[in-house]
Amino acid sequence: MDWSGEITAGLAIKYSNPDEPLPCSAGTFAVLGKPFDWRFTDVVSGGTTYPAPEPFDCQSDFGTMPWLELLDGQSTITIEYTEPILSDGMFIKHGFIALNSATLIVEGVIVPEPATLWLLFLGVILMKRKLNA
């Protein structure tokens, strides 16, 4: 997926030191197809530029799982906000994602089924016979 936008980190505190808030990166993730097909990709950033947003413009890969639901040209992409789970603290200000664009890029090779190849082969032989006659 080719996507771009800006990520603003959140602000968190640790329970052991609640007087010193620290920036905590936020992110966005995309899931292709059914929720548990494990085809997802994400972008996480913003912690180094807090409080200013950090721009992103990248291509992310969904992985190499089967793409059967794309054969009919339709599927579902879910894009959501995400932030880390803090076991030793909590967010006092959540981050923000501004998604400017997102484009799904599908690259692949179409392999014809065997019956199509046989019909093509038969057509070539019949044309050769007709030309030689």
Residue 94 has pLDDT above 70, yes or no: yes
Query: What does the pLDDT read at residue 70?
Result: 65
* 105 C-beta neighbours (distance < 10 Å), count: 9
Residues 49-60: what's their mean pLDDT? 93
Distance CA 128, CA 133 (A): 9
Total count of domains within the chain: 1
Query: What does the pLDDT read at residue 119?
Result: 83
Residue 36 has pLDDT above 70, yes or no: no
Identify the domain containing residue 104 by its residue range.
2-132
Residue 83 has pLDDT above 60, yes or no: yes
- pLDDT band at residue 51, thresholds of 50, 70 and 90? very high
Spell 107-117 as b/e; 16+ CB within 10 A means b: eeeeeeeeeee
